Structure 1
Amino acid sequence: MFLFIPILFGFSDKLKVIDSTPRVCPKCHNVTVVRATSRMWFSLFLVRLIPFKKNHIWICSTCNWHVPTQTGWEPALPVANAAWGSYQPGYQFAYQSSPPTGYQPSYDTPPHSY
């Protein structure tokens, strides 16, 4: 008799927030970037057993952007605007074409043929 028992194994990541000071995400411009550690684990039957590598990263909880920490660089802190009372991200305006060159009739006066 043959007995088939599936064995579930693999690798999983666990994130732990180190510094919860919010920073500005360079990708989505939200103030949701925090400093964290990412640890890879070997799992057997969904139980984490053996820790592998550990990385220190900056991660955005909105767009899932992440980058390893580097000496001398960190995401920008939010800038408070006195007019708004809190940080407002800089939005990009829709594309506007330049005004065409050449003859453009004026529509505030009737045409000469009337």
Structure 2
Amino acid sequence: MFLFLPILFGFSDKLKVIDSTARICPKCHNATVVRATSRMWFSLFLVPLVPFKKNHIWICSTCNWHVPIRDGWEPALPAGNVGWGSYQPGYQYAYQSPHQGYQPSYGSPHGY
């Protein structure tokens, strides 16, 4: 008798945050870039078994932008405090009319 069992295997990446100091993302301009390590694992039946290559990267948790860490370059630190309500480049505040209470008149085209 022949018994067919599917064998599930593949590769998966595991991320580990090294430094949680937030930095500005050059792609989406949010203060969500952190320093992390990315390690590729060989998995059998969804269980990570054998570790492969390990990379040190900068990664953005908002847009998933990532780049390897290089000597002499790092994303910019935010200008203000990081967190809710802090200024982030590209953020648009609520619309405020430049006319301060001006209301257009909707008169007839003939003036009466």
Superposition TM-score, scaled by structure 2 size: 0.75
Q: Where do 5+ consecutive residues of structure 2 fail to align? A: 93-112
Tell me the secondary structure at the aligned position of residue 86 of structure 2. coil
CA distance in 2, matches of 1:30, 1:76: 11
Tell me, yes or no, if structure 1 residue 22 matches structure 2 residue 54. Answer: no
Q: How many residues align?
A: 89
**Gaps in structure 1 of 5+ consecutive residues:** 93-114
SS of structure 2 residue aligned to 1:28: coil
Matched, 1:6 2:6: yes
TM-score by length of 1: 0.73
SS in 1 for 2:89: coil
Opposite residue 31 of structure 2, the aligned amino acid is V
The percentage of counterpart residues that share the same residue type is 88
Matches within 5 A, 1:51-66: 51-66=51-66
Shift of the alpha carbon at 1:65? 0.2
1:33, 1:67 → 2: CA distance?
10
Q: Which residue of 2 aligns with 1:111?
A: none
After superposition, the CA RMSD in angstroms is 1.7
